[in-house]
Structure 1
Amino acid sequence: MGGKPSGTRKHVSLHHERRGRGMRVLLVDDEPAMLLAMKRLLSSMNGVELVGSFRSAREALDFVRDKEVDLAFLDIQIAEDDGLELARSLRAFHSELIIVFTTSHAEYAMDAYDVYPLDYMVKPISRTRLAQTIARAASSGRASSEAGVPPSNRLTVRGLGCFEVGSTQAGAVKWISKKSMELFAYLLVNRGRSVSKLRILEDIFPGFPLKNAEIYLNTAVYQLRKALSDHGFKEIVINAQEQYRVDLSEVDVDFIQLELGMEELSELGAANAAAAVELDRQFTGELFEDKSFEWAAMERERLALLYNSFAKRLASWLLAQNRYSEALLIARRLIHRNEFEEESNLLLLRILGSMGDNQALIHYYEQYTMLLSGELGLQPSMEFRRLYEEYQ
């Protein structure tokens, strides 16, 4: 096909070009709000030139036929189109093109690496995470042009509702022992910060004699590194001067991305509403929900409180925009997590009242009243009864 590069000379010339003009970046996503959010983030970054943003594969392919592009951010699901097939077609025009997939679902990060993307990024994408990927793309462009080095591997961690770890290169991590798995989860919760050996021994090996606990810790570290070595990540577990930490530069952790996303969406509006709704969907359960890690209790509660606050703000904003079905879904999820929490129940009452569904409003009020009376021997608060009467 026309436009396909030929040999090392093309790569070297592109490398020199990038030094002078910055990376030419292409965006493809069928959500206008996500396109706008990404465009705003990229516009504030040095060394980046946004050359095109499109909502369909056809538009993107038409554009690259006679345009130079260094880096493409592709939604893996683009309406009727297939982001993976688009990546293959783009590579047919520009074999040196760096691909980064964006997705709302972390599980896609284990699939379809025949197109060799540099990275998978789970939406919503934080500025910090995007900057890291841009830097890696620039570095990858230099390395591949000089030595033909394949794109780097990534480790993906899901800690919300479960604990699953895998790499884009080798699939799921096979744990050698439960304690090595627990140690990795423990270090991840500390978000790259160093933790003293003594604190690890107290939290992960409580009640063990000190000498035995030290032996068990050394064994767990060895087993953890061995399990990660099959994926190319043995060196990310670092210990020095009786301090331990995990290097997160090549690790994508869902609960860390969730918290960063909530921080960046402190102000909700039309421009970031789609990203906020997508972020809410990513809270798929409590931190390490299926694991009995006693040391995780405080972090689990802290993250849950942050999410609850974010979800209530989002549901309230959606309600104000008359987006009732989306607000209702979030409110019901909040109540499912804590059926007696009054603020969430008041929110659900306001949504049902605003929708004008009197039958659903009456049914919900009676159900909530019976629940309070039967389980706690209480009646709804004055505020709850007053709000209910207002909608009658």
Structure 2
Amino acid sequence: MKVVLVDNENSALISLNKLLSASNDVEVIGAFTQIGPAIEQILQNQPETVFMDIEMSEMSGLAAATVIRSISPRTEIIFVTAHRQYATDAFNLEAFDYLLKPVKKERLSKTLLRLRKRGYLEPAKPRQPYIYLRCMGRMLVHVTGHEPRALKWRTTKVKELFAYLLHSRNQIISKDKLIELLWPDVDEQKGTSNLQTSIYRIRRLIEDQGLEQWIIIRYLEFGYILETKQLIIDAEELDVKFRQLMPISPNHLTEHQQLFEAYNGDYMGEDQYFWAETERLRLRTMWLQHAHNLAAYYLEQGRELEALTVYHRILRLDPTLEEGHVALMRIYDRLNDRNSVEQQYALMTKILKREADVEPSAETMEWYQNWQQKR
């Protein structure tokens, strides 16, 4: 079933999209914070169902329902609102259902069940097992039906060997290169023994965890190769999504916000392997640039609070990023929050001194001095 979501709250769109995505027979083809672009999508794609807020900015959801009825008569309308008083008006428009925010999983399940009985949805089919491997931040494994978990490694060298083979997945890595990387100070015989023992332990761990369907380590041509089969890796998925992003606009804001929030930490960030530094820096730079663009968009739209949230998230990743502190100070200035400007400057100065033993840049200090003189 194709579904369109309409809500002026981006957080509500993300939450509802997440709940609906858990159903195999539901496809969210669009999520909009404005009714105009949503109606264009509905006219073009004729979705089976629209989940829509009632209190929208340019047109009420009740008025929009009349328009949707005229351009897509077979589309069912489900209102999603924080207010009970619209229920009578909604059902007078023959709305299929009326959900109160925050939408609960159990309540939404009842709505989907009714849609299935009406023939809009096929009965949900069991999902094929999958494995999702996190490399951003802490390394975790998520298998269908289980909570994400960390694997228990016998030694740090075994873990690093797995991480490097995963980093170089589907490529043959010579024994000599692996020994030089992990045991540079031992002789060839000892290095070979360490490598073989570590490979054995990785294979045993893969089998014990039931992961051999997705991860295989083979010995080929004087080296090892880690092969992945339908293994979802968050770093790889993140990279692809960044490259496929459409420009930031009301139509695509939800996917931009979701991608921004999907960054759980730096690539192989838990262990900071030196050989992963290039990829770590590339992905971080890509995410930071996207974050700055997202914050700039929010500021252009007069949505300072959302921009503040973006920059606070950036500084959690890297507290020493001076431009992030400056951006927060400028936003607080726009909000006439002088105390927060002063507190942010003091915090930035303290962090830069403690972590890098430097002062704020001359440009930043000049901006702050000029700001103080405006009093």
Give the TM-score taking structure 1 as reference length.
0.59
Separation (CA, whole Å) in 2 of partners of 1:351 and 1:237: 50
Encode CA deviations 1:329-370: one digit per residue, 9 max, x unaligned.
Answer: 221233344444332233222222222323322333355456
Instruction: State the partner residue of 1:181.
Output: 159
Instruction: State the partner residue of 1:233.
Output: 212
Given that residues 316 and 347 in structure 1 are in contact (C-alpha distance below 8 angstroms), is that contact kept between their aligned partners in structure 2?
A: no
Q: 1:79 to 1:204 in 2, by over 3 A?
A: farther
Counterpart of 2:129, as a letter, is N
Q: 2:48 aligns with which of 42, 47, 52?
A: 52
Given that residues 159 and 253 in structure 1 are in contact (C-alpha distance below 8 angstroms), is that contact kept between their aligned partners in structure 2?
A: yes
- Residue 87 of structure 1, CA deviation: 10
Q: 1:298 to 1:28 in 2, by over 3 A?
A: same
Instruction: State the partner residue of 1:385.
Output: 366
Instruction: State the partner residue of 2:191.
Output: 213
Any idea what SS the aligned residue of 1:156 has? strand
Instruction: State the partner residue of 2:59.
Output: none
Given that residues 318 and 327 in structure 1 are in contact (C-alpha distance below 8 angstroms), is that contact kept between their aligned partners in structure 2?
A: yes
Given that residues 237 and 246 in structure 1 are in contact (C-alpha distance below 8 angstroms), is that contact kept between their aligned partners in structure 2?
A: yes
Which residues of 2 match residues 1-392 of structure 1 at below 5 A? 25-27=1-3, 31=13, 39=29, 52-55=48-51, 79-82=102-105, 85=109, 89=113, 97=123, 116=126, 118=127, 152-168=128-144, 172=149, 174-175=151-152, 177-178=154-155, 179-190=157-168, 192-229=170-207, 230-234=209-213, 236-239=215-218, 240-265=220-245, 267-291=247-271, 293-369=273-349, 376=357, 378=359, 380-382=361-363, 385-386=366-367, 389=370, 392=374
Counterpart of 1:55, as a letter, is F
Counterpart of 2:154, as a letter, is S
Separation (CA, whole Å) in 2 of partners of 1:50 and 1:222: 55
Separation (CA, whole Å) in 2 of partners of 1:195 and 1:38: 41
CA RMSD in angstroms comes to 4.1
Separation (CA, whole Å) in 2 of partners of 1:185 and 1:377: 35
Separation (CA, whole Å) in 2 of partners of 1:381 and 1:266: 37
Q: 1:352 to 1:267 in 2, by over 3 A?
A: same
Q: 1:183 to 1:279 in 2, by over 3 A?
A: same
- Residue 156 of structure 1, CA deviation: 1.8
Separation (CA, whole Å) in 1 of partners of 2:158 and 2:49: 44
Identity over aligned residues, as a percent? Answer: 20
Separation (CA, whole Å) in 1 of partners of 2:301 and 2:122: 44
Separation (CA, whole Å) in 1 of partners of 2:172 and 2:4: 39
Q: Which has the larger radius of gyration?
A: 2
Separation (CA, whole Å) in 2 of partners of 1:79 and 1:191: 42
Q: Which segment drifts farther, 84-93 or 345-354?
A: 84-93
Separation (CA, whole Å) in 2 of partners of 1:234 and 1:252: 13
Separation (CA, whole Å) in 2 of partners of 1:91 and 1:323: 36
- Residue 154 of structure 1, CA deviation: 1.0
Q: 1:245 to 1:348 in 2, by over 3 A?
A: farther
Separation (CA, whole Å) in 2 of partners of 1:211 and 1:386: 62
Separation (CA, whole Å) in 1 of partners of 2:246 and 2:182: 35
Q: 1:187 to 1:38 in 2, by over 3 A?
A: farther
Encode CA deviations 1:267-309: one digit per residue, 9 max, x unaligned.
Answer: 3222222222222222232333333644334433333333222
Given that residues 157 and 163 in structure 1 are in contact (C-alpha distance below 8 angstroms), is that contact kept between their aligned partners in structure 2?
A: yes
Q: 1:162 to 1:50 in 2, by over 3 A?
A: farther
Counterpart of 2:359, as a letter, is L
Counterpart of 1:177, as a letter, is R
Encode CA deviations 1:12-69: one digit per residue, 9 max, x unaligned.
Answer: xxxxxxxxxxxxx54476628969x95279xxxxxxx98535438xxxxx97xxxxxx
Instruction: State the partner residue of 2:64.
Output: none
Separation (CA, whole Å) in 2 of partners of 1:343 and 1:196: 43
